[in-house]
Amino acid sequence: MSSHGSNLCVTVIPCSGGDLIDILVLYGGNSAEREVSVQSAVCVIEAFSQTAHRVLSLDWRGKAPSERLLALAKEADAVFLALHGGSGEGGELQAALEQTHIFHYTGTGPSGAALALDKAAAKARMEEAGIPVAKGTVWNPLSPPPELSFPVIVKPRSGGSSVGLRCIEEGADLAVYRGGEPMLIEEYLPGREFTVGILDGEALPPVEIIPNGGVYDYRHKYEVGATRELCPAPLEKGKTEQLKDLALCAFKALGLRDFARIDFKENHHGEPILLEANTLPGLTKTSLLPLAAQTAGIPFPALCERMAALAAKRKRDL
């Protein structure tokens, strides 16, 4: 990716004929997941380099969209959001785009995006829909912690990529959070861990996640070799279908669109419990949505094409 101006980063891939769409890739953002976003964008642009699309990429810094960004977005047939966390995944950018009649961006709209990124609100909505979720409570680190049965999982109320996620063994360890942002404290679930990708209304094969020691935190998620991922997950057919059905129910309950990734862990009884939903899941070399798609017979370039095509269709349908 080559820089042009202070924030603009543009790559042009020449067209070679056929039914083409121009794609604007937005990456970067203003969250702790900025590095992951850059990695996703590199992989997405590389994937589109294997096609005949003309691709522009823009390092968006999380501010109100500039006139330049909006002009590029209106010109493009699809705006590909390679963003994770913050206002890029939480609905603010989506709302700003829609205010200028740009609806052809990838992923979920403003309300669903905002709901899914707020883990506590999303869990409440899914619980209302009858979906089993991990028990937990929001804790403001300026206040004393609630009475807890340890160990517990502590993670930011908003955000993804397992940034800030820790398994806390005893109350004294909570001191590391004093004075920080609101956190979500959840019961520790001891069973197997899975994720289910959703693409265009269909559930992809579940992935089993097996960290090599510890919990599935940021390091285990992005360090090559730190985690084993089995896809399709070695499950009986009934359990596979159960996970897929729960993922689709969560997708619908949260008002999501196009694609997502839904995370689960088993309780003491081996029952799947929903952890959270990701509306702009990672697209890096170690990410799980591409793995599930590949298992379903959708190579990574074709996955990116389908994501962009879903957004482009909204522009054509206006």
The residue extents of the domains of the chain are 2-107+299-317, 116-279
Catalytic residue among 105, 282, 287, 305: 282
User: Environment class of residue 4 by beta-carbon count within 10 Å: exposed (0-12), middle (13-18) or buried (19+)?
Assistant: exposed
Fold adopted by 116-279: D-amino Acid Aminotransferase; Chain A, domain 1 (3.30.470)
Catalytic residue among 33, 59, 89, 217: 33
Place of tokens 């419990």: 273
Catalytic residue among 77, 136, 222, 287: 222
Verify whether residue 276 is a known catalytic residue: yes
Catalytic residue among 89, 186, 276, 305: 276
- Closest to 163 in 3D by CA, of 295, 34, 22: 34
Write the pLDDT tens digit of every residue in 90-125: 999 999 999 999 999 999 999 999 999 999 999 999
Verify whether residue 222 is a known catalytic residue: yes
Verify whether residue 263 is a known catalytic residue: yes
- Per-position b or e across 288-311, b if 16+ CB within 10 A of its CB: bbbbbbbbbebebeebbbbbbebb
Verify whether residue 161 is a known catalytic residue: yes
Is domain 2-107+299-317 in CATH 3.30.460.40, yes or no? no
Place of tokens 């285990």: 220
Catalytic residue among 37, 161, 162, 287: 161
Beta bridge partners of 168: 152
Beta bridge partners of 259: 199
State the pTM of this model. 0.89
Catalytic residue among 109, 263, 287, 305: 263
| Calpha distance 291→307 (Å, rounded) | 15
Verify whether residue 2 is a known catalytic residue: no
Give me the pLDDT at residue 15, please: 41
**Residues of the chain with confidence (pLDDT) below 50:** 1-19, 161
- Per-position b or e across 172-211, b if 16+ CB within 10 A of its CB: eebeebeeeeebbbbbbbeebbbbbbbbeeebbbbbbbee
CA distances (Å), origin 232, targets 12, 49, 216, 240: 36, 28, 19, 9
| Calpha distance 30→80 (Å, rounded) | 17
